[in-house]
A and B are shown apart, each in its own frame.
Chain A
Amino acid sequence: MKQIKILGTGCPKCKTTVANALEAVKQSGIEAEVIKIEDIQEIMAYNILSTPALVIDETVKIKGRVASVEEIKTLLIQ
């Protein structure tokens, strides 16, 4: 099972990303859990400078912008 983490301190953009990730999982039918990380110390462990960031299986895939449903689906299939 894949694991998607959305890093963000709770801004509107982060919420959109979470919604997009859930939608992408639903549409692709791939088994994956979506976890929201809001703790800043935990976020900084991924060494990113801008949020929201999308992490799949502990690798930062997208940072600083909202990832679209299509994009997340493509990343999930890889």
Chain B
Amino acid sequence: MFDWIQQFADWLIYDTIGIAAHSKLGEALNFFVYDSLKILFLLFLITFLMGIVNAYFPIERIRNFLSRNQLYGGEYLLASSFGALTPFCSCSSVPLFIGFVKGGIPLGVTFAFLITSPLVNEVAIAMFIGMFGWKSTVVYVISGILLGVVGGMILGRMRLEPLLSEWVQNLLKQAQREEELEEEKKSLWDRLPEVAREAFGIVKSVFWYVIIGIGIGALMHGFVPTGFFERYISRENPLAVPLAVLMGVPLYSNAAGVLPIVQVLVQKGIPIGTAIAFMMAVVGLSLPEATLLKKVMSVRLIAIFFGVVALCIIISGYVFNLIL
């Protein structure tokens, strides 16, 4: 599927600029051109497709559906899957949380949505396809959704409502089923320019992270010997996964920049499970989001929320290392 990009990179670096094909510099430059074009192309494609899906399933409709229907446990899977479908912005997590609570949706289900929403997002998916291929992406998406379900169920069981801020608890008491809402009727065709503009905006906002990330990745690709990192973070080291998760938490906004480096780490010998756990921690657990959530819940609840999710990520990291 990406042969044409590779051909272009070969043509540009080896034929036009004239750097020898097997030199370290040539390999690094070729990798950089190929990877950045491929990733930017995928980023636009995936955000555009997700935008179209979202035009059909706006978040309001999802909330109202969850608010009006009792699904006997199925609501966790539904909330988590919808979380994967909707674009995520950490600045929306608070309004979203309140909106769900107001609609009478159980706290655990709301958490299921909140866990998956950043974990499986359009940028992560596009980068994952580009760097690890379709199969690993499917595994990533499915495990992200399962992680939301399991995390949401655990948090739901813990009866954490008293740890919400007081004004949120008051909202909880007045919670009611959402009314059917009137939606703007617009054909897909009419929406396309809007969707394309949004997709373009997302690509633009992560552009430099991607370029810098791939730049560092390309340097490592060309100059760091295979197996270099394995000496430090090997499959046998039982602490590698938790350490990777801990390192991932503060890196949030650089998700797009971190993945290209993760890809090279994998090529140089770090097990994919450890790499995925790291990646999940980077995108799924963000400190800016935690700060925002302080407005609606106590620090203790945020700590419990992050703790449960981190634990689930660590466990899935070990599982990936075993099965992939």
Contact = CB atoms under 8 A, between A and B. Distances in A.
B26 interface: no
Given A40-B98, A40-B295, A40-B296, A51 B201 contact: no
Q: Interface SS of chain A: helix, strand, loop or mixed?
A: loop
Interface string B280-306: 000000000000100110000000000
Nearest to B194: A65
Interface residues of A, number: 21
Given A11-B91, A40-B95, A44-B98, A49 B60 contact: yes
A49 B99 contact: yes
A46 B63 CA distance: 15
A49 B201 contact: no
A44 B91 contact: no
B99 A51 contact: no
B92 A64 contact: yes
B24 interface: no
Given A9-B292, A49-B59, A49-B63, A44 B99 contact: yes
Interface in A1-21: 8-14
Nearest to A8: B91
A74 interface: no
Contacts of B98: 40, 44
Interface residues of B, number: 21
A50 B197 contact: no
Interface in B254-279: none
B48 to A, nearest CB: 14
Contacts of A48: 95, 99
Contacts of A65: 198
Nearest to A40: B295
A49 B95 CA distance: 5
B246 interface: no
Given A11-B89, A50-B59, A41 B96 contact: no
A46 to B, nearest CB: 9
Interface string B158-177: 00000000010000000000
Contact of B91 (A9, A47, A68): A9
Contacts of B197: 68
Nearest to A16: B201
B242 to A, nearest CB: 30
- Which of A14, A41, A50, A51 has the most chain B CB atoms inside 10 A of its CB? A50
Contacts of B37: none
Nearest to A66: B201
A11 B90 contact: yes
A40 B198 contact: no
Nearest to A52: B91
B91 A51 contact: yes
B127 to A, nearest CB: 20
A66 B92 CA distance: 13
B96 A49 contact: yes
Nearest to A44: B98
B131 interface: no
Nearest to B101: A44
B12 interface: no
Interface of B: 59-60, 63, 89-92, 94-96, 98-99, 102, 167, 197-198, 201, 205, 292, 295-296
Name the 10 nearest CB pairs between A and B, nearest first.
Answer: A11-B91, A49-B99, A50-B92, A49-B59, A44-B98, A40-B295, A49-B96, A9-B91, A51-B92, A51-B95
Given A49-B59, A49-B60, A52-B91, 10 more contacts: A9-B91, A9-B95, A11-B90, A40-B94, A40-B95, A40-B295, A40-B296, A49-B92, A64-B92, A66-B201
Interface of A: 8-14, 40-41, 43-44, 47-52, 64-66, 68
